[in-house]
Amino acid sequence: MAQATVQARTGRSRRRGIENWSAGRLARVVTMLFVAAIFIFPIVGFIAMAFRSTEGVEAGTGGFLGLGDVSWENVRFSWSQVNGFGPDGGLFTKWMLNSLFVAGGGAILALVAALPAGYALARLRFRLRRAILLITLVTMVMPNTVLVIPLFLEVNAIGAVGELWPVAIIMGFFPFGVYLSYIHFMTTMPRELVEAARIDGLSEVAVFWRIGLPISKQAMVLVGFFAFVANWTNFFLPLALLSSNQDNNTLSIGIQQLIGASPLFNPTVAAGLDVKLYMPQLALATFLSMLPLLIVFLGAQKFLIRGETVGAVKG
C-alpha cells in the first residue's frame, strides 16, 4: 500500500487490475466506501421522504429507502400542509423571510465589521491590539450558546425581545470572521505594501479601502458564507429571543413548532389543527429550509475549495 501511495503521489499511478491490489489498499478503499455509504443512505432516504406520501410511508411501500414512492403530487400536498400551518396559514413563508433577514443582515454586519478589524489587527500597531486579538480568539473557540441567556437578559432590559433586529445585530458579532480576515491580511498583504501606500500619501483607512479591500474577494466570500451558515442554523439564540412572537420566528425554531404539532409526537395538539404534519411534511419543511444554504454553498463553492482548510476551523 505504501508503494501504491508513493506511486500515486508522484503522479505515476498507472491503471492496474484490481487483482493486483494489495490487501491493505483493498481494506482502505472498502472501509472508506463503507463509511461513505453510512453517511449517504440516510440522507438519500430523508430527501426521498420529502417526496413521499403519508399513506405510502405508513404502508411501507416504495421499496428501498422508499424511492419508489416519490412523486411531485406528494410534494404539492405536503407543501399545502406545511405552509398551511398557523392561524391563517403562511407562517412557513414568513419564517423563511425572517430567517433570510436575520441571517443575511447578520452576515452583512459581520462582513462590514470583520474585514477592517482583521486588517487593523494584522497590519497596524496600536495599544490593546494583542488583547483584542486574544478576546477574538477565545470568543471564537467558545460555543456561542453560553452567551445566549446573558444576551436574552440584555435584550430584555431594553424591551426588544420578540423583535428581529436585535437578533441580526447580535449575529453580526462574528469573531471567526475577524480571525479569517486577520489571517487573510497576514498572508496576502505584506507590511512593505502598507508602508509603500503610506509613502504615496494614503491615510490608514484609505490604505485598507483602496488596497486591502480590492484584494480581499476570497476573504469576503468566506466570511459572508460562514456567517450566513452559522446564522441560518442558529437555534438557541432565536429560541430565546424570538419564540415569544410567533410572527417573528425563524425557520429553525419554526420547524421545532412543526415537530410539536405533528400527530406522530403530539396527537392532542395535532388533533386541533387543520393541517396534518407527518414525516413527509416534516422532511419537506427541513428540505426547503436547507435550500438557501445549498444556494449560498454553490455560489461560494470555488472560494471554499481554495480556502477550505481555514474554513473548517469552526465547522
Partner 1 sequence: MTTGLTEERATRAPAPPPRRTRHPRMSRGTEARGAWTLMAPYLVLLLIGGIIPVGYAVKTSLEKAPTPLDPSSGFGGIDSFKTVVTDYRFVDTFTNVFATLIVWLPIMMIGIVGLALLIHASPGRFGSTMRFVYYIPGALAGIANLVLWVYLLNPSQSPIEGFWHALGIETIKQAVATPNHLPFILTAMMFFQGVGSWIIVVNGGLNGISEEVLEAASLDGANAWQLAWHVKLPIIRPWLGYAALMNLAYGFQLFLEPQLLDQVASNALQDQWTPTQLGYAFAFSNYNFPAAAAMSLILLVITLAIGLLIVFRSGLFGEEEH
Question: For residues 212-241, which are near partner 1 according to CB under 8 A?
Answer: 215, 229, 233-236, 240
Query: Long-range contacts: 292-297, Cβ < 8 Å, 24+?
Result: 292/96, 292/99, 292/100, 292/103, 292/232, 293/229, 293/232, 293/233, 296/225, 296/228, 296/229, 297/225
Dig out the grid coordinates for 145 from the structure.
450558546
Question: Would you say 8 or 97 has its CB closer to partner 1?
Answer: 8
- In the complex, the smallest distance separating the C-beta of residue 206 from partner 1, rounded to whole angstroms, is 9
Which residues inside 14-53 make contact with partner 1, applying CB under 8 A?
Answer: 24, 28-29, 31-33, 35-36, 39-43, 45-46, 49
Among 100, 108, 160, 183, binds partner 1 (CB under 8 A): 183
Of the candidates 243, 245, 272, 275, the residue with the CA atom closest to the CA atom of residue 256? 243
Q: Is 92 in the site for partner 1 (CB under 8 A)?
A: no
φ, ψ dihedrals at 116, nearest 5°: -65, -35
Q: Is 295 in the site for partner 1 (CB under 8 A)?
A: no
Question: Would you say 46 or 79 has its CB closer to partner 1?
Answer: 46
Q: Is 297 in the site for partner 1 (CB under 8 A)?
A: yes
Q: Is 13 in the site for partner 1 (CB under 8 A)?
A: yes
C-alpha angle 232-237-241 in degrees, rounded to nearest 5: 120
CA–CA separation, 229 and 241 (whole Å): 19
Stretch that binds partner 1, among 69-77, 82-90, 92-100, 303-311 (CB under 8 A): 303-311
Stretch that binds partner 1, among 69-77, 78-86, 89-97, 145-153 (CB under 8 A): 145-153
Which residues inside 149-168 make contact with partner 1, applying CB under 8 A?
Answer: 149-154, 156-157
CA–CA separation, 311 and 80 (whole Å): 38
